[in-house]
Amino acid sequence: MTVTIVGSQLGDEGKGALVDLWGGDADVVARYQGGDNAGHTVVEGGDEYKLSLVPSGAVRDKVGVLGNGCVVNPKTLFSEIDELRERGLDPDVRVARRAHVIMPYHRVLDGIEEDAKSDSDLDAGTTGRGIGPTYEDKAGRRGIRVGDLLDPEVLRDRLEYVVPQKRALAEDVFGVEAGEAFDVDAVFEEYTEIGERLRDESMTVNAGEFLGSHLDDGDDVLFEGAQGTSIDIDHGIYPYVTSSNPTAGGAATGTGIGPTVVGRGEVVGIVKAYLSRVGTGPLPTELTGDDEELADSIREKGGEFGTVTGRPRRIGWLDIPMLRHAARANGFTGIAVNHIDVLAGLDEVKVGHSYDLDGEERFTMPATTERWGRCEPNLREFEPWNDVDWMAVAEEGYDAIPDNAQAYLEYVSAEVDAPIYAIGVGPDRAETIELANPFDE
């Protein structure tokens, strides 16, 4: 069977921790979208692993697959694999031959376009990893795929077509001097070598066939979503979004496994008990102004600084209309709620239960981001809970969670109409309380 892990909010919900927990029961862990814009943290017995591209299952010695829906920067991939090897792990990572490659010019263009947009407030605050420009070329049918790196003749042809266009874009449209990243010969030389390493290490696969044959053999596959529903290119707060589909449908299109198979499995939404945001754009429940200090304390306690970029994350109360939207767009069969410990010890705990927009109460997100930005949250207050020994709580289980935190969890579960499978009370693997294992559901 399959279990799909999806971010319910704006990314960084703690997906890595749950992929790690349930990845232990899977045979294969596959990513289906995004690239090294993701930053997933796994903490095991105090050892911390921060992974951008290698699926989090690598920490559990699982086969990791980067599906066709991913955009792959092979340099990041190799450096992460090499680093894991240095730490004594032996990651087995396969890359879809249909996945698109993030080329050096994509990264440069990402930065150039963000700069150009910053005057108009259209910049998304991207991670600068070249994600958007690579997906643009995919849709424009001028991209370079992993399979092309294995065939120097094809690679050369593609580069000769696309690189002069990119150079002209940088120089003539944006007025920026194009460097080596826009030089056909230099790029060709570097990427044929990358192709050789991919071949030498037998890393490339037809992802659909590879995963399909594992499933046919009765193996369990965990799909590891990156980013989150509200930064999905279709269902998120466009244009402040990433360029792929983190929502559960992406698990089918991004791997070559049919939606019926994905839908027969479990789809688990990962929820952070409050909001964090690394990018730009509106955020109705954001803690600003008089609440700045409160935001600072949550940020410090939750370590809310970007895994990829180190940027301090913006903080807000939990946004329930956002979760209702996510529950529908993904069809959650269950949820996991993380960071209950981070809200402990506060004087007040609130959630945005609904919005007020033009005098009307709304329970879901409007489809345009401008209207979303005008939404005033109707806040609902919960009794706060104290800080406790969370490791001890994790050992004892759900009943040891402070009553007020239990009331909060039960409210969230009821609003999204999905049972709680797990609760995060700290970053370590041992600090997740498991109520149900989706592979057993």
Q: x-or-dash pattern for ligand IMO, window 8-27, by CB under 6 A?
A: --xxx---------------
Binding to ligand GDP by residue 35, rule CB under 6 A? no
Of 35-43, 155-163, 172-180, 381-389, the window that binds ligand GDP (rule: CB under 6 A) is: 35-43
Q: Which is nearer to ligand GDP, 105 or 421 (CB)?
A: 421
Count CB-CB contacts under 10 A for residue 343: 23
Binding to ligand GDP by residue 342, rule CB under 6 A? yes
**CA triple 217-222-224, angle to 5 deg:** 150
- Could you say which residues in the range 283-342 bind ligand IMO, by CB under 6 A? 307
Q: Which residues are within 8 A (CB) of 19 and not within 5 positions of it... i.e. 6 or more apart?
A: 5, 29, 40, 42, 55, 56, 57, 222, 224
**ω into residue 239 within 30 of 0, thus cis?**
yes
**CA distance linking residue 51 with residue 39, whole number of Å:** 6
Binding to ligand GDP by residue 15, rule CB under 6 A? yes
Q: Which is nearer to Mg ion, 68 or 307 (CB)?
A: 307
Q: Which is nearer to ligand IMO, 272 or 350 (CB)?
A: 272
Q: With beta carbons less than 8 A apart as the criterion, state whether 351 and 316 touch.
A: no
**CA distance linking residue 3 with residue 118, whole number of Å:** 39
- Could you say which residues in the range 285-324 bind Mg ion, by CB under 5 A? 307
Binding to ligand IMO by residue 223, rule CB under 6 A? no
Torsion over CA: 102, 211, 429, 316 (sign): positive
Catalytic position from the list 20, 40, 341, 353: 40
Q: With beta carbons less than 8 A apart as the criterion, state whether 394 and 425 touch.
A: yes
Binding to ligand GDP by residue 39, rule CB under 6 A? yes
Count CB-CB contacts under 10 A for residue 196: 13
Catalytic position from the list 12, 110, 148, 232: 12
Count CB-CB contacts under 10 A for residue 291: 16
For the CA atoms of 109, 111, 116, 122, the dihedral, rounded to the nearest 10 degrees, stands at 110
**β-strand pairing of 334-338 with 63-66:** unpaired
Q: x-or-dash pattern for Mg ion, window 27-46, by CB under 5 A?
A: ------------x-------
Give the total of residues touching Mg ion (CB under 5 A). 3
What's the DSSP call for residue 248? T
Binding to Mg ion by residue 280, rule CB under 5 A? no
Q: Applying CB under 6 A, which of residues 3, 4, 13, 137 lies at the interface with ligand GDP?
A: 13
Binding to ligand GDP by residue 339, rule CB under 6 A? yes
**Is 235 a catalytic site residue?**
no
**CA triple 198-103-54, angle to 5 deg:** 50
Binding to ligand IMO by residue 278, rule CB under 6 A? yes
Q: Could you give the residue ranges of the DSSP H alpha helices within 202-279? A: 207-216, 249-253, 259-264
Tokens describing residue 326: 């996510």
Least Å distance, CB 122 to ligand GDP, is 25
Least Å distance, CB 228 to ligand GDP, is 8
Binding to ligand IMO by residue 409, rule CB under 6 A? no
Tokens describing residue 55: 């699926």
**Is 185 a catalytic site residue?**
no
Binding to Mg ion by residue 338, rule CB under 5 A? no
Binding to Mg ion by residue 12, rule CB under 5 A? yes
Beta bridge partners of 276: 315
**β-strand pairing of 71-72 with 100-101:** parallel
Q: x-or-dash pattern for ligand GDP, window 386-425, by CB under 6 A?
A: --------------------------------------xx
Length of the chain: 441
Q: Which is nearer to ligand GDP, 29 or 342 (CB)?
A: 342
Q: x-or-dash pattern for ligand IMO, window 231-270, by CB under 6 A?
A: x--------x-xx---------------------------
- Give burial (CB, 10 Å; 0-12/13-18/19+) of 346: middle
Where do contacts with ligand IMO occur on this chain (CB under 6 A)?
7, 10-12, 37-40, 124-127, 129, 131-132, 226-228, 231, 240, 242-243, 278-279, 307
Which residue numbers are catalytic?
Answer: 12, 40
By CB under 6 A, name the binding residues for ligand GDP: 7, 11-17, 39-41, 43, 302-303, 307, 338-339, 341-342, 424-427
